[in-house]
Amino acid sequence: MTGTPANPGQRIDRWLWCARFLKSRSLAASLVQSGRLRVNGERVSKASRTIRPDDVLTFPLGPHIRVVKILFLADRRGPAPEARLLYEDLDPPASSGKPERKEVTPPARDAGSGRPTKKERRQTDALRENDS
């Protein structure tokens, strides 16, 4: 962890990668260049933007919007427990531990339309055997 006077800041793409928000530095740079990342409420579009401790980052990650406060800058990309010490998560707590799953029901099919089901095929085969 840095933050010494000799190194007052760090590139935003490198910090996102070191904090393990994204798997590669090029993905981090793509996120920044897309313009969907904000530093202290200000939209950022350059991966070379310097960040410092106490900056607040807001960015989309999957289906969620992440809000994190930078506590430390990183010297290297370490293990996940070490990466979690680099920031404070300011996201509001989720209402439940698991994300909601929407039940998907198969679309209704009119009887006799489309491909026959296994049950219908057996019934047809049984009728053909009785006829012969």
pLDDT at site 70: 96
Query: 23: domain range?
Result: 10-89
Phi, psi angle pair for 76, to nearest 5°: -150, 170
pLDDT at site 74: 93
Is 82 part of any domain? yes
Is 94 part of any domain? no
Is 110 part of any domain? no
CATH number at residue 20: 3.10.290.10
C-alpha dist (Å) from residue 16 to 78, 83, 86, 114, 115: 12, 10, 10, 50, 50
Is 2 part of any domain? no
Is 24 part of any domain? yes
pLDDT at site 54: 95
What is the enclosing helix (H) or strand (E) of 50?
Answer: strand 50-51
Residue 73, token pair as written in the block: 């800058």
**Confidence class of residue 12 from pLDDT cuts 50, 70 and 90?**
very high
pLDDT at site 1: 57
Is 109 part of any domain? no
Structural domains in the chain (count): 1
Q: For 65-100, what is each residue's pLDDT tens digit?
A: 999 999 999 999 999 999 999 999 998 776 555 666
For 54, the 3-state DSSP assignment is: coil
Per-residue pLDDT for 18 more than 70?
yes
Is 55 part of any domain? yes
pLDDT at site 92: 75
Q: For 20-59, what is each residue's pLDDT tens digit?
A: 999 999 999 999 999 999 999 999 999 999 999 999 999 9
- pTM comes to 0.68
For 69, the 3-state DSSP assignment is: strand
Is 1 part of any domain? no
